[in-house]
Structures are given as C-alpha cells and as structure tokens.
A and B are shown apart, each in its own frame.
Chain A
Amino acid sequence: MLKVDNINFSYGEVPILSNVSIEVGDGMFVLIIGPNGHGKSTLLKTICGLQNPQSGAIVYNNHEIDNLPVQKIVEMGLVYIAEDRHLFPDMSVIDNLMMGAYNKNARLKEKENLYFVFDLFPKLKLLKKNVASSLSGGEARMLAIGRGLMSNPEFLAIDEPSLGLAPNLRVEVFKKIDDIKQKGASILLVEQSTAIAAEYADIIYVLEDGKIVFSGTREEAFDNQNIREVFLGT
C-alpha cells in the first residue's frame, strides 16, 4: 500500500534522512521507533507531503506521491496526525471535526465518520461545543485523532500520539488506534513510548541517525536483545 523507496531529505546542508526505505502493507500496523531527533517526525512529514524528499520515491496505492502537496495526498486517503496536533484553537470541538471532513472525499462520508468518532471517543461528544483551546492534553489528543478520522483515511500516519499523556491515557490511545486498525485502516506510527505501542505493531522499524538500522516483525524485535533493552524497555 505504501512504499518508501530510498528517500533522502536534508534541511539545507544537514542530512536528516539517508536512503530510508520502508513498507506498509494493507491493514498493517507499522511502528517506527528510535532516539529523539533522529528523523522520525521528518520521515512522516515527508511521506505525508508537508515536505518533499530530495531524492527517492514514495508510492501510495500505485501512485507516486513524493512531489504532491499534502492536500492532494489527503484526498487520496493518506491522513497525517501531527505531534503538535495543530487544532483550530478558537473553534469548537465539533467545528474542528467538521473541518477534518473538508476534503471532497471526506464530505460524502461526514455523517458516518462523525458517528464513528463519537463512538470511539464518547468524551468528545460530551465536549462537542467546547472550544478547542480549553481541552486538556488527553482530550486534545483525542480530538486530533478524531479530526484525522473525519478526513476519511485508509491510511493513518500518526506522530507520537501518546506524548505528554498520563500512563493510563497512553494505554487507551493505543487501544483506540488498534480499534481503528481493526476497521481496516493501515497505520504508520512514530512513537517514543514504545513498550505499549509495540504490543500492537505488526512490523517495527528502528530509525537511528536518519537511517533504518532494524526492520522486522514484532516477535523479531522482542527477540532482539539490543532492541528490547534500548527501545522496548524490557
């Protein structure tokens, strides 16, 4: 479904991603872990069209997307949920969600996606009329994911969804993301709090210094003592 082939990305003179290749199959949950500041967020942003790679190809559902703007990529069903959330602070929860359905494909499915989002996050339904800037960290995280779901994704690229959340909320967020995967979406997740996320992942990549240093199934990752100790915290 998504194939990233040997991409390179530099910020000016500074190389951030070097020859990175990953693959996400239909309906798979792929996790990218690694030390902070080593390119995980940049990789997601490049895949989602917020930046363009200097070289290499990104293919999504047989379309080359490496030079497309983010808006076109969203229309194709590849939705990005940012670490910084980027909610609309002065709009209500419901307005934020409805803006999520802006792209033309999502508009047709507005009602059923909203129903799904409220079913997944009942708290958001309660907070429907509240202004986004008044939400707590966990609620804002839920809204960011909910808004992403309103864009009618087949593929969700999520950047550190549990950052800054209390441990019990972290568990809940990953459970919800797994629920979304069960509905048929493919998930590409970048995470720091890896122990919990790894439980749900099918494939795990380790990104260090802008390069992929490990790729394997969840079992292979847990079998690898190095990976286990350094990243999975066991």
Chain B
Amino acid sequence: MPATVDREAIAEQPNPLGLAGIEFVEYATSRPQALGQVLETLGFRPVARHRSREVLLYRQGTMNIVINAHDGARPSSVAPTETPVISAVAFRVRDAAAAYRRALERGAWAVPVQVEVMELHIPAIHGVGASRIYFVDRSDAFSIWDVDFVPIPTVDKHPPAIAGLHWFGLVQYIGSERMEDWCEFYRELFGFERLQDTQRFGILPKGHILRSPCGSFYWQLIEPEPGLVEAEGEESLQRVGLGTPDVPAAVAALRARGVSFVEAGELHTEARGALTVAQLGGLMFELVHQA
C-alpha cells in the first residue's frame, strides 16, 4: 500500500483531478429517436454513432450528448426506459487513470467495464441512483469519439451553438436530510465547493449549488419539499442546465424551433432563466443566464 511514510506534506490542491469541464452527458432510453427529435429542436445535431452498440452522439457547440439505447447486460444499471434518464456524466480530467484511482481510494464504487475489442476502456464510478461518472482525459486532438464512434457522413461534425448555449451543469434530486452527505461526496471525491446561498442562478432557486473545482460548471442539489416526504422518489440526476449569455434570445430561437417553455404563475421565462415543458414523460431542460 502506498504508505503514509515520511513524505513532505503537500496541501490538497483546489482541483485535485485537474477537472476541466464536462465531456459528455449520457441519456438512457428505449426510444432514442424520440429523444433525438427533442434534442434537435434544442439545437443538437447527430454527428456520430457507436461502432458496436445502439449509441448516438449529438453535439452542439461544446456540448456532447450521448443517447444510449443499448440494452446490454448492465447488472447494476437500469434498463433503458421510454422516459429518457440521465445515466452518466463524463468529467474531463488531467489523467483519467489517476482520477479513477484517487476516487476509489476515497470510497467511490467502481463500475465494471464492458468494452468490445478495440474500444476504449473509460473508467467509471457509480454516481447517484443508477447513474455513472466517467473520467475522460482525451478531449483534444484525438478524442474518445475518434476511437469508439463512426462519424455520420456528410454532417457537420461541429454544429454551432444556438445563442451561445453551453453546459451550465446538472440538477440532482436528493432524499430529505441528505444535503450534507452529498455535498461531502462531491467535495471529497472531486473537489466541488459549496456556494453561499446568496449566490443564485436561474429561475429555480432551490437547494444548494456546488461549483466544480475548475469553475466551469455547477451541480445543484435539491431536497424534496418539506411535508412531501411520502412523495419522495429515488435520488437521480433530474435535468441538465444549459448556460447562455442571453436567455431571451435563446428562448426566442428555441421557440422558433418548436420548443415550449413553462409559463405558469411564478415559474416563467425571465432574463435569469427558463424551463422547457416536460416531454417524453418528464424530460426537461433548464436555461440559465451565464456570461
């Protein structure tokens, strides 16, 4: 074991994994085409398909979304359902192997890998519910997409973002009295930092917000409303947040493409943010003002 012998004590780095944003978000669904249509209204374009599985890559600007309809043997994972669920988030890190080892040393659960020949072994740990967190260290010249995916012919591999849309972050629903546990989990394993409650984003100012150690995205934790404990569901990644420097412009552009936004009483489109109307049984996206 790497001993705790006489070594010079070095203070913990603020970004221990060299985290540098989100490489992709993965949805699992048994209706990949329905989800694909929704993503296309939001400005994503299909750009590549997986070599061996029923998996598609959608892209917009800097954002990659993977649609996974592969109903393989995934013992600890859920089978794809009609309602798409966020089944994984991939973090860009300096060194995926080192990040993975460090997470395991601190109490993460390893996900057993199932790769086909000539495919990349992307290390993953269990996240909330049945979701996973991947570590990816190839995001520049020769990326994971170049290895495991085949480009769809003729399409632009780098479709531009509508109104500067980019990853703002993830929204995770948690059980009651679980806030401290989850804050500690993301701090201990990845170096996330909890923001002051005065710092707020978007139109759904609930729960607590954690900032990634690279500062480029956020993780919002939301507890159930008090008194609604009996309605408490499983903990899960509920939605993604898309950042934009101009929410009204983004809303106008997306409306023109057929996206509907929630406009009900207190919850409505503002300069701070907007929320899309749920589709496919609960799939929604949040827009958040972010320069």
Chain A complexes with chain B: no
